[in-house]
Amino acid sequence: ETGVTQSPTHLIKTRGQQVTLRCSSQSGHNTVSWYQQALGQGPQFIFQYYREEENGRGNFPPRFSGLQFPNYSSELNVNALELDDSALYLCASSLGSGRGTQYFGPGTRLLVL
C-alpha cells in the first residue's frame, strides 16, 4: 500500500509568482485535504476535495485554488505569491468525506522571497 506522497519537497519562489503543489493520495482514498503550516504553528485547513469536487474551504483567499483528478490525486495552486505564503503545505488523504482517518504526506516546504 503506497502512502501519501507530495512533490516537490522544497520550493523557492519570489513574490507575485505562481506555484503548483502536487499530492498523490493513499491507494483507495477518494478525499484529499490541504493544510498550510506556518513555522511554529499548527496546520490550518485550506480546503478539501471529495470525488473531484471542493467539499469545504477554510479562511484562505481565492488565489488559493485546487483540483482533484479522476485518480484522486490533487493539486494546490497559489497565485500572486506573498511573503506570508512561506510555509509547509501538507496534504492528507482519507476514505470518504466523513470522519475517516486522515493520512498526511511529508509536505512541501515553500519559501517566498
Distance CA 32, CA 103 (A): 9
* Interface with another protein, residue 62, by CB under 8 A: no
* Interface with another protein, residue 101, by CB under 8 A: yes
Site for another protein (CB under 8 A): which residue of 2, 53, 84, 98?
98
Here the cell at position 67 is 483540483
Beta bridge partners of 92: 33, 104
* Interface with another protein, residue 70, by CB under 8 A: no
Q: For residues 7-26, which are near another protein according to CB under 8 A?
A: none
* Interface with another protein, residue 66, by CB under 8 A: no
Provide long-range contacts, Cβ within 8 A and 24+ apart, for 61-70.
66/34, 68/32
Sole window of 14-22, 33-41, 60-68, 71-79 interacting with another protein (rule: CB under 8 A): 33-41
Nearer to another protein, 16 or 28 (CB): 28
Residues with Cβ within 8 Å of residue 41, at least 6 apart in sequence:
none
3-state percent breakdown (helix, strand, coil) of the chain, nearest 5 = 5, 50, 45
Residue ranges binding another protein (CB under 8 A): 4, 33, 35, 40-45, 48, 55-56, 58, 90, 92, 97-99, 101-107
